[in-house]
Amino acid sequence: MSEQTIAAMRTTSEIVKLARQRLDQNAWDYLTGGAETETTLLRNRQALDEIAFRPRVLNNVSDIDLSREFLGMKMRLPVFLAPIGGLQQICPNGGGLPALKAAEDFGILSILSSVTEPGMDVAKAEVKSPLGYQLYVHGDDAWVFDILDQVQALGFVAFCLTVDTAIYSRRERDLIKGHTPRGRQRAGLDRDYQAKLDWDQIDRIRDKCKVALVAKGIATAEDARLAVEHGIDIVYISNHGGRQLDHGRGAIAVLPEVVEAVDGKAKVVVDGGFVRGTDIIKAIALGADAVGIGKLYGWGLAAGGQEGVARVLDILEEEMQVSMGLLGANALDKLTPAHLYRDARPVRAPSVTSGFPHIKFPDFDY
């Protein structure tokens, strides 16, 4: 499909449908599926759908500003590309690099996963805008410190530790097919170290970390408080897109208690099921500093490489512009919980496609 055709797509539904057509079943399930019964994955969507808007009228919304300062960067949207491992399975020609370039051109931050291509050296050589680096701990302190030294020498602005993968989950879509994702096939990685990761090691890393330290995978107020006590700069709410612990809460349902627990002592970001501009607005109104998108840009990458990710971001911006205006807010700092009603009944059952109701996706749910 040509760049012009991708550019002509007016909805993310069309882009996701094209991604489904282009990905084989293994790649599709890896990107789109979750753990065991996929209850956490579905609750990510359900929790967003349980929040309705309370719009205000007769406010001047002729000029709407969606930008936000984050990690020293003025981002065009309060959105960043969350780290996704194994993007070479989604985009064999370039792995995650086309997505990083699309984000740079658009004007938002990306976090590069340690288990995707390209490596950190290539990424920093190709992308001059700020980047974060995410690490799964597969070695001892010396191993972690060596990687941290490289991250800091290369000029990454954040060092992100994923903390919700002490045990690799049972992802039944893969198990049924006997498929092992490429990220799990990498040699020389001792996964016992991820299970041993604890707050004492966080302290040792904090002592040597000169950039923003991020804990990704926080899901309770209790751990958010501990994160602040141990010097975490960015508390990152995430349930791994529903791909780790099954029967967890939707990510946005966790956000209010974490914002309250952090009490301004750290930044708070969140990912998990965010596929619409309205989803981003809800999280900002509840106190998130920025919102990560994962599957959404993965689908864009699968559909059209760099152009697909760019088009996803353009549509997301347009959706936010429209919804902000209709809410009566002309800037992100005008959004508050008063714009939300948090006990609405969803109008449809959650699914991996319920954010895209206008197009039918054959075999989409499996």
Higher-confidence position of 257 and 183: 257
* 258 belongs to a structural domain: yes
Q: What is the pLDDT of residue 187?
A: 45
- Output 6 or 208, whichever has higher pLDDT: 208
Catalytic residue among 240, 247, 339, 358: 240
Domain for residue 231, yes or no? yes
Structure tokens given for 143: 């191993």
What local confidence, expressed as pLDDT, does residue 2 receive?
A: 47
> Looking at the domain assignment, is residue 354 inside a domain?
no
| pLDDT at 4 > cutoff 60 | no
In a domain, 355, yes or no: no
Q: State the pLDDT confidence band at 190, using cuts at 50, 70 and 90.
A: confident
Element (H, E) at 26: helix 25-32
pLDDT at 362: 61
pLDDT digits (tens, 9 = 90+) for 22-69: 999 999 999 999 999 999 999 999 999 999 999 999 999 999 999 999
Q: Is the Cβ–Cβ distance between 161 and 25 less than 8 Å? A: no
Residues 6+ apart with CB under 8 A from 343: 50
Q: Which residues, in sequence order, are bridge partners of residue 216?
A: 162, 236
Q: Is residue 71 part of a domain?
A: yes
In tens, the pLDDT along 236-278 reads: 999 999 999 999 999 999 999 999 999 999 999 999 999 999 9
Our CA angle for 237, 239, 240, nearest 5°, is: 110
Q: What is the mean pLDDT of the chain?
A: 94
Mean pLDDT of the 154-179 span: 91
> Do the strands 131-135 and 109-113 form a parallel or antiparallel pair, or are they unpaired?
parallel
User: What is the per-residue pLDDT for 178?
Assistant: 84
Q: 69-108: per-residue pLDDT in tens?
A: 999 999 999 999 999 999 999 999 899 999 999 999 999 9
Q: Residue holding tokens 């490429």?
A: 182
For the chain, the domain total comes to 1
What is the band of 172 on the pLDDT scale with cuts at 50, 70, 90? confident
pLDDT of residue 7: 86
pLDDT range class, residue 366, cuts 50, 70, 90? very low
Has residue 349 been placed in a domain? no
DSSP string, 87-120: HHHH-TTTTTHHHHHHHHHHT-EEEEETTSSS-H
CA atoms within 13 A on the CB side of 123: 30
Q: How many CB atoms lie within 10 A of CB 188?
A: 6
In this prediction, residue 174 carries a pLDDT of 84
Is pLDDT of 186 > 80? no
Please tell me which residue, 185 or 126, carries the higher pLDDT value. Answer: 126
Q: What is the CATH number of the domain that holds 148?
A: 3.20.20.70
Residue 11 domain-assigned (yes or no):
yes
- Can you give the C-alpha Rg of the chain in angstroms? 19
The residue range of the domain holding 162 is 3-341
The reported pLDDT for the residue numbered 319 is 98
- For every residue of 236-294, DSSP letters joined together read EE--GGGTSSTT---HHHHHHHHHHHHTTSSEEEEESS--SHHHHHHHHHTT-SEEEE-
Residue-wise pLDDT tens digits, 285-306:
999 999 999 999 999 999 999 9
240 flagged as catalytic = yes
Tell whether 256 is covered by a domain.
yes
